[in-house]
Structure 1
Amino acid sequence: MKVAILAGGVGTRLVEETEIKPKPMVEIGGRPILWHIMMHYSWYGFNHFVVALGYKGEVIKKYIVDYCSLNSNLTVNLKDGNVRIHNNVKTEWIVDLVDTGVTTLTGGRIKRLAPFLGNETFMMTWGDGVSDVNLHELLQFHRSHGKYATLTAVRPAARFGHLSLQGDEVVEFSEKPQTSEGWINGAFFVLEPEIFNYIDGDDSQWERKPMETLAKDGQLIAYRHTSFWQCMDTLRDKRLLESLWQGGNAPWKIWEE
């Protein structure tokens, strides 16, 4: 089964990093967050990726093309240009890198991937969020209901401490817990090819008319994920993920290297 990753956005809220690279190439623990996402899927046996490129897509292309050499020892003969790779990194990844345009919206990017995804079920996520969601359970859930689309619903961590009050008395205090109310779209989709019929073109935003219409038609189901999920929208988010990784407490790192 193929995995679509939308990696073409500008990432304006992370401008400190994205002036020179696309957001999926912003690093956590010395590796692009795109790599973390791909490692997650690969751990569950999903190794064929279709990546929608846009803003500074050439940076992602270069990283993927150079991936083996960047992660191996090399002998370079400058006389004849021959490069010999030692201890070659072992990966079963196949990566389709598809230019979907700089200004294309999310729905349009998905539609442009259709020829590469084929007429079969596929997974999809954004190129800027990590989670410990069990992808096998997600897929099983999707297949159990027979609808066109499954999204992963999450409750993100609250930004500030939570208070429970009785009058003026604080009866419970939790420092930045996971919110107890309000599910949001955490991506990590499983989709059927019929969803392409819900997308008009490049100016279509997936989170608006396509998903709204799928919901109206009874074709959108939510898989509730109550464990770790974190997007990387801001520099604050990046620092949080970096601190978890450096502290050896990265919940999304479920793979073995």
Structure 2
Amino acid sequence: MNALLLAGGLGTRLKPLTETLPKPMALIANRPWLEHVIVHLKKQGIQNFVIAVKHHPEKIQNHFGNGEKWGITIQYAMEDSLKGTAGAIKNAERYLDDRFIVVNADIVHEIDLNPLLEFHRKHGGNVTIGLTEVDDPTQYGVVQQDGAGRILRFVEKPRLEEAPSRRINAGIYVMEKKVLSFIPPDREVSIERETFPLLITRNAGVYGKVISGYWMDMGTKDRYRRIHWDVLNRVNNLPIPGKESGKGIWLGKNCDIGPGVLLIPPVLIGDNVVIGERSIIGPFSVIGNDCVIGRNVRCSETIMWDRCKINDATHLSNCIFGYDLEMGSKHILHEAVMNRMGVLQA
């Protein structure tokens, strides 16, 4: 059984960070999220991966290659146009085993696959959808199930009093390959609006099981920040690189921390970072590898990707900086999202 990782979306709501980067390659705790996914699934016994790519596929291919570095195999299913979730699965059909796992690669999770797989084997149907329960189901497609877990219908964005449950699609599926015959080729197909309702109508055996563990869609800037604060607070158990130096302070290798620098936990400092004297970093800051931070800098609730340079006396609050960004001296920025100079969103 292999795993298909859906990594072809445009990541529109995370722009400008995703203008030249696939959303699943956004850093989470100084590591591309897609790498977290692959390592997590490998620990659960998945050795063979297919990655569906479309938006800047070279960024994924150049990073992972054939997977040898991670002790796995990777094949790539290239989309010539956006095909939706079901269309992307259909496009990868030639690479998939008779039973396979599908994971939306922009969902941050720590899912244990074994209960999902065991439930799939027991019910004997063709699809098992991993479900998660949310407090407010009104912005999602909500499932109605029978006592055996069979999904009877999806209710799209119901009013709260009309929602049949609080269970929504978590973006993780176990599928039998034969159901791909229900997906038309070479066009955009929605798995929730088209494929699953059709399979339910055909009585093809679509089941759902609530999955346990951390789950968060990183599709917006606010959620992207929230995921990082959850990492630093250890609400989830994603690995944090570096050595914990005092409670809530993670420090990478070969860092040069100047005199009078104050690190306020929780904070993560990557490898080869230089921080100038009397700077204050934290709380809730993540500094990428090879960053250079000047003197008297104040940086709080800010995520900074690799190789950024922040010059003296700049104040950053609740910002997100992409790769290789340089900020001049004495700037004051609040809630800025930047991937290079000249691209700024509040």
User: What TM-score do the two structures reach when normalised by structure 2?
Assistant: 0.57
Query: What CA distance in whole angstroms lies between the structure 1 residues aligned with 2:182 and 2:57?
Result: 26
| Superposed counterparts of 1:1-257, under 5 Å | 1-65=1-65, 91-118=70-97, 120-156=98-134, 182-201=166-185, 202-218=187-203, 219-251=205-237
Displacement of 1:43 in angstroms is 1.2
Partner of 1:164: none
Query: What CA distance in whole angstroms lies between the structure 1 residues aligned with 2:135 and 2:42?
Result: 26
Query: What CA distance in whole angstroms lies between the structure 1 residues aligned with 2:18 and 2:41?
Result: 24
Query: What CA distance in whole angstroms lies between the structure 1 residues aligned with 2:31 and 2:7?
Result: 15
- RMSD between aligned residues: 2.2
Structure 1 unpaired stretches of 5+? 69-88, 160-180
Q: Name the aligned partner's letter for residue 82 of structure 2.
A: T
Displacement of 1:143 in angstroms is 0.6
Displacement of 1:134 in angstroms is 1.6
Are the structure 2 counterparts of residues 252 and 188 from structure 1 closer, same or farther at C-alpha, using a change threshold of 3 Å? farther
Query: What CA distance in whole angstroms lies between the structure 1 residues aligned with 2:172 and 2:80?
Result: 23
Partner of 2:291: none
Displacement of 1:244 in angstroms is 2.0
Over residues 194-235 of structure 1, what are the superposed CA-to-partner deviations in whole Å (9 max), with x where a residue is unaligned?
A: 121110122222222111111223321001124421111101
Structure 2 unpaired stretches of 5+? 138-164, 240-346
DSSP 3-state at the match of 1:203: coil
Does 1 or 2 have the higher relative contact order (CA < 8 Å, sep 6+)? 1
Query: What CA distance in whole angstroms lies between the structure 2 residues aligned with 1:217 and 1:66?
Result: 38
Are the structure 2 counterparts of residues 67 and 142 from structure 1 closer, same or farther at C-alpha, using a change threshold of 3 Å? closer
Answer with 1 or 2: which has the greater Rg. 2
Q: Decide which structure has greater helix share.
A: 1
Q: Name the aligned partner's letter for residue 191 of structure 1.
A: M
Displacement of 1:122 in angstroms is 0.3
Contact 1:121 1:193 (8 Å CA) reproduced: yes
Contact 2:108 2:216 (8 Å CA) reproduced: yes
Identity fraction in percent? 27
Over residues 161-209 of structure 1, what are the superposed CA-to-partner deviations in whole Å (9 max), with x where a residue is unaligned?
A: xxxxxxxxxxxxxxxxxxxx51110021100011211101222222221
DSSP 3-state at the match of 1:50: strand
Q: Name the aligned partner's letter for residue 126 of structure 1.
A: N
Q: Name the aligned partner's letter for residue 112 of structure 1.
A: N
Q: Name the aligned partner's letter for residue 167 of structure 2.
A: W
Query: What CA distance in whole angstroms lies between the structure 1 residues aligned with 2:17 and 2:223?
Result: 12
Query: What CA distance in whole angstroms lies between the structure 2 residues aligned with 1:229 and 1:212?
Result: 24
Contact 1:16 1:235 (8 Å CA) reproduced: no
User: What TM-score do the two structures reach when normalised by structure 1?
Assistant: 0.76
Are the structure 2 counterparts of residues 60 and 157 from structure 1 closer, same or farther at C-alpha, using a change threshold of 3 Å? farther
Corresponding pairs, count: 211
Displacement of 1:105 in angstroms is 2.1
